[in-house]
Structure 1
Amino acid sequence: MTWSSPLSRTPFPRALCRTLAAAGLLIAAAGPALADIPIATAGPMTGSLAGFGEQFRHGATLAVRDINARGGVLGEELTLTIEDDVCDPKQAVAVANRLVGKGVVFVAGHACSGSSIAASKVYEEEGLLMISPASTAPELTEDGSDLVFRVCGRDDQQAEVAADYIHRTMPEARVAVLHDKSAYGKGLATETRRKLAALGQTIALDEAYTAGEKDYRAVVSKLKQADIDLVFVGGYHTEIGLMLRQAKTAGLEATFMAGDGLMSPDFWGVSGGEAEGTLMTFSADPRKNTAARAVVERFEADGVEPAGYTLYAYAAVQVWAQAAEKAGSVDPEAVAAALRAHDFASVLGEIVFDRKGDVSVPGYVVYRWSEGSYDYASKLED
């Protein structure tokens, strides 16, 4: 297994690269510098979850543009490669290997937790640093990798907020917990179920469904038979939107709630307008952050609404660039050390990474969908 120096693209075994870097000899071995530093973003650029890929594309592209306009990183311009993993772990592994072959030194990706977990194994082995803008499964940062980070929170953190909200506002509700069997969906559902049970909430139904299907009437029927008041779903907007349409047709009046998998403007359309009142957890809206104001204006000038994970993708590139400057190198291990050693100003606010590569304060809140958009649930209740 080899790693290529970002300055020379000369292949070095990773162990040798560490030795040379420790001895201060890597620069001498690297040869003349190139005129660019290759980085990448990876996510679902096509397929049913392509909306998240578009958020990544817009966020990373503007971040690179802004950084290059200020002189780049260590005096060199960034070049951005965009890769499509279709939110499929096998495709993500193929993408990771392609990026290694291209000499990329940093990846702002991936989106779906299953893809990020699979790709991270390649990146760790080959010595490539990743910062996920959106993958929330705890397992991503639990294996001790020193090259894996994320700028979003974790499922156990958003599950705590969801469970607290459910128990506080609907303490007598009969709750169903569903998931789509994915690393993200199952993980979020499991954490939410556990936290609800600890609060004494009644879990009347626990069910899995298959992502990508078009008919969820059997699941809806079980929800009706169990007299469910609230349905918590670990999954993505495409299936949840269809489930909502079929639930309304069947006369099910239960409230639906999910995590950040609903953070797509396509959700309302998929639901056929039946998402009124649907709840979701996500961080406090970064678009309203003072630190993001100028960047949001540049997005809007480009005709882009920086919703969902757009600003998270921007922040992933932003903090990597700052860490590289602090490290005085784009060597992935040097940048990883800098990421853990410093605080970073970003469009999301101050970012501090812990030993695992997680951010210290994700700040999840509850939103409610209404009339095609979403707002803070507490604000709508006031």
Structure 2
Amino acid sequence: MKTSDTPSPALLSCLALTLTLLLGSACVPQNMVVSPLGTVVVGPGEDIQIRSLEVLTGSIGELGIPRQRTLAIALADYGPIKGHNVSMGAGLDSLCTAEGGKAAAETAVGDPRVVGVLGTSCSVAAAAASPILSEAGLVMISSSNTSPSLTSDLRGKAGANYHAGYYRVSSNDLYQAQAVAEFVHTELGLRRMATIHDGDPYTTGLTAAFAVAFEALGGAVTAVEKVSRGDTDMIPVLTRIAAGNPEGIFFPLFPDEAGYVVQQIEEVEGLAGLALINSESLLFIELESVDAYLSGPEFNFGANVNQATGRSGDELFAAYRQQYNESANNAYIALAYDAATILLRAIEEVAVADGDTLFIDRARLRAALTATTGFNGIVGPISCDSFGDCGTGLILISHYTDPTVNDITQLPVVFRYAP
């Protein structure tokens, strides 16, 4: 039998395929261009892999748990993609911290089968997770992050924490800042406001954007104060605020710190009766009494239908209650559902089947998400810009006076904002 030191064409082909797989791509069908970001190969009988990066523990676990649960509902509603089921694996707890976001992202990219992730719940976690996921070629879609730093200033300038492959259906906080400024100035007739943030991308970005919007309307920001996560004594901060004689305070802090502000404000001379404006975090803690305004995303869209699944908001909310024996914020559920379905829709759009094997080009997946225009979601029409902002910008402000109520849909809406 004649032998040769020259490798056979079949062996060369096998070696090339092995090398390509090791480099994060694959031997793809001839009608596909090999992706600069790699190609995920889903073998016969294998599931398409995505991951959930939400906050699942602590006092703000209620931000993330409903979103992870809703992802499971969305996967069941959407069904298989070109003969392959979609698996979310075990939920990764991003902890609402930079450390948690980094660790969750590293876990996700450690599995080369993962195509994309849903999350995070908190902007501070996203700022740490986004560069890791972007570098690995993954896409990330949040239903909760709102810091402008993660996308742009809505005028074409990228934010400090923007990285390619990041998207969100939650609205940029520049919209919420404008909504709060208009409400305070026009509806409440206030001209002097103080703000409190905790130094993270969410609270810092939102209070800074509010100050710009409020001053543009003719108002004055009398103090910009900072607390730290975990602080319990708010008297020093409130005392400094009182020196400026404000008419109200905007403090989009997380639940524990926001609660201490409400509980201690009456102890500081000159602050009794001030208008208090928070995000929705006050709903997550127990208070003996409260009189505050809460700003957050629109939640009245029960009749809207998600075009990918045909499920209406009312049907989705009912399904959530039936499956988990409890209710959750309608906005959280709707935003998470829409985020999941635009990811699944984009995967289906770019996935190429070759027999029982599926090839998902990471670069094409990003392009498909960026090209999302006029997708009819439960939250309304969804269109993404070049920086990944896909939110509607619709904001509600509700009046919170009954501390026994923890469902924002049960509070009276006093102001609506649309861009």
Instruction: Give the TM-score normalised by structure 1.
Output: 0.85
User: Which residue in the other structure is 1:133 paired with?
Assistant: 143
Q: Distance in 2 between matches of 1:11 and 1:31?
A: 12
What displacement does 1:249 show? 4.8
Alignment of 1:146-161 (within 5 A): 146-161=164-179
User: Which residue in the other structure is 1:376 paired with?
Assistant: 413
- 1:299 has 2:320 as partner: yes
Alignment of 1:1-382 (within 5 A): 11-13=21-23, 23-24=32-33, 30=41, 32-68=43-79, 72-80=80-88, 81-102=90-111, 103-141=113-151, 142=158, 145-250=163-268, 252-259=272-279, 262=280, 265-267=283-285, 269=286, 272-276=287-291, 278-286=292-300, 288-291=302-305, 292-302=313-323, 303-307=325-329, 308-328=331-351, 330-343=360-373, 344-359=375-390, 361-371=392-402, 372=405, 373=408, 374-378=411-415
SS in 2 for 1:185: helix
**What do the CA deviations read for 1:92-141 (whole angstroms, capped 9, x no partner)?**
11111111112321111111111112101001100111001111111212
Q: Is the 8 A contact 2:194 2:241 kept in 1?
A: yes
CA 1:100–1:34: 2 relative to 1, 3 Å: farther
Q: Is the 8 A contact 1:295 1:347 kept in 2?
A: no
What displacement does 1:153 show? 0.7
Larger of the two Rg values belongs to structure? 2
Q: Distance in 1 between matches of 2:413 and 2:40?
A: 54
Q: Is the 8 A contact 2:26 2:39 kept in 1?
A: no
**What do the CA deviations read for 1:183-220 (whole angstroms, capped 9, x no partner)?**
10011011101111111112222211112112212222
CA 1:73–1:30: 2 relative to 1, 3 Å: closer
SS in 2 for 1:223: helix
Q: Is the 8 A contact 2:102 2:128 kept in 1?
A: yes
Letter in 1 for 2:215: A
Q: Is the 8 A contact 2:304 2:377 kept in 1?
A: no
Listed as ranges, the gaps of 5+ residues in structure 2 are 1-17, 152-157, 306-312, 353-359
Q: Is the 8 A contact 2:222 2:244 kept in 1?
A: yes
Q: Is the 8 A contact 2:171 2:393 kept in 1?
A: yes
What displacement does 1:28 show? 11
Q: Is the 8 A contact 1:354 1:360 kept in 2?
A: no
Q: Distance in 2 between matches of 1:256 and 1:29?
A: 49
Q: Is the 8 A contact 1:52 1:264 kept in 2?
A: no
SS in 2 for 1:288: coil
Listed as ranges, the gaps of 5+ residues in structure 1 are 1-7
Q: Is the 8 A contact 1:323 1:338 kept in 2?
A: yes
CA 1:19–1:283: 2 relative to 1, 3 Å: same
**What do the CA deviations read for 1:65-107 (whole angstroms, capped 9, x no partner)?**
2223xxx222211111311121111221111111111232111
SS in 2 for 1:309: helix
Q: Which has the higher helix share?
A: 1
CA 1:248–1:28: 2 relative to 1, 3 Å: closer
Letter in 2 for 1:283: P
SS in 1 for 2:105: helix
**What do the CA deviations read for 1:18-43 (whole angstroms, capped 9, x no partner)?**
99998546899948334211111112
Moved more, 347-356 or 323-332: 323-332
Letter in 1 for 2:381: E
What displacement does 1:284 show? 1.5
Q: Is the 8 A contact 2:266 2:272 kept in 1?
A: yes
State the superposition RMSD in angstroms: 2.8
What displacement does 1:342 show? 3.6
Q: Is the 8 A contact 2:94 2:100 kept in 1?
A: yes
What displacement does 1:49 show? 1.8
Moved more, 325-334 or 57-66: 325-334
Q: Distance in 1 between matches of 2:163 and 2:412?
A: 36
Instruction: Give the TM-score normalised by structure 2.
Output: 0.78
Q: Distance in 2 between matches of 1:357 and 1:12?
A: 30
